[in-house]
Structure 1
């Protein structure tokens, strides 16, 4: 698996950056994980919209889905320009019928509801889901292929179920929207201590902090997480590539 970070900011994108979006690739299959604000613009530095094979969404907050419409129109226009492509499947929960309905657009994209209580097979990937603790229904995801595992927490405050869900993952892509001296649980987010403790308890091989705050010295998040987790720890950044 190859993970490429397209966007990593929480809430909204900073200048010349994007909010949440990642591409997970294996054997040429390109899966976009969330599609937040400015993701489409940044995506084109690494992958073309018409080349994506599938999309999977954690929830319907704008910083995770704002560029779905832009992605749909990019594929529509590329079709007019002569590119041939299949209908792009967008996997998401259907707990919000209105938002889910927007995922199907002509023959360009089709919304497909996943069952969060069952494994989902998308291309080479097997995906498991975990309902997080967030103001709206949101699902963390565990991606597995060829004996390797990536866990993406999506947006959430800490819940005990994350420990077993993340157990032994090669990479834990963990939201970290607050510093250690702040309590983000009311907003449905983790802080740096939460992330470090989860990584340690789940015995993951690498911790990547993402969904980052717009203030403070971000390196402090890493320093704080490392007070609880001794493994490799770093911040997500645009264009980051991790071979798993």
Structure 2
């Protein structure tokens, strides 16, 4: 598997950047995880919109879905230009019917509901889900292929169930929207100390802190998390790529 960070800002993208979007590739299959503001523009540095095989959405906040509409239009326009493209499956939950319905657009994309109580097969990937603590229904994902596992927490405050869900994963893509001295529980987000504690308790092999705040010294997030976890910790960076 190869994971590439496309966007990583929480809430909205910084100048010339993108909010949540992560490209996962294995055996030639390209899965986009979330599609926030700015993701489609940045994605084209790595791959073309018409080359995606599937998209999966954790929840329907704009910083995770804002570019779904322009992704649909990108594929529509490529069709006008003569490319024959298959209908792109967009996987999402059905607990917001209004937003879920937008995943289907003409014959360009098709919304496919995932059952968060079951494992989902998408190409070579096996995806399992954990409901997070967030103001709207949101699902973390454990994605496995080729004997490796990546966990994406999506948006959530800490919950005990994360420990087993993340156990022994090769990469923990962990949201970190708050500094260690802040309490993000009411907003449905984790801080750096909690991210480090989760990584240590779940014995993950490495952590990438993502969904980052727009203020403060971001390197402090690393030092705060490192007080709890002795393994590899990185800040999400545009086009950071990790091969497993």
The TM-score with structure 1 as length reference comes to 1.00
What is residue 144 of structure 2 aligned with on the other side? 144
The answer for unaligned runs of 5 or more in structure 2 is none
**What is the SS of the residue equivalent to 1:79?**
helix
Superposed displacement of residue 26, structure 1: 0.1
What is residue 12 of structure 1 aligned with on the other side? 12
What is residue 207 of structure 1 aligned with on the other side? 207
**What is the SS of the residue equivalent to 2:71?**
helix
Superposed displacement of residue 145, structure 1: 0.8
Alignment of 1:1-244 (within 5 A): 1-244=1-244
Q: Deviations over 1:104-160 (max 9, x none)?
A: 000000000000000000000000000000000000000001210000000000000
The TM-score with structure 2 as length reference comes to 1.00
Superposed displacement of residue 166, structure 1: 0.1
Q: Deviations over 1:17-70 (max 9, x none)?
A: 000000000011000000000100100000100000000000000000000000
Q: Deviations over 1:177-205 (max 9, x none)?
A: 00000000000000000000000000000
Superposed displacement of residue 83, structure 1: 1.5
**What is the SS of the residue equivalent to 1:237?**
coil
| 2: CA distance, partners of 1:186 / 1:117 | 25
| 1: CA distance, partners of 2:84 / 2:32 | 19
**What is the SS of the residue equivalent to 1:155?**
coil
| 2: CA distance, partners of 1:41 / 1:132 | 28
**What is the SS of the residue equivalent to 2:41?**
helix
| 2: CA distance, partners of 1:84 / 1:31 | 20
**What is the SS of the residue equivalent to 2:94?**
coil
Q: How many residue pairs are counted as aligned between the two chains?
A: 244
| 2: CA distance, partners of 1:220 / 1:19 | 20
The answer for unaligned runs of 5 or more in structure 1 is none
**What is the SS of the residue equivalent to 1:135?**
coil
| 2: CA distance, partners of 1:59 / 1:86 | 24
Superposed displacement of residue 85, structure 1: 1.1
| 1: CA distance, partners of 2:46 / 2:18 | 14
Q: Deviations over 1:206-233 (max 9, x none)?
A: 0000000000010100010000000000
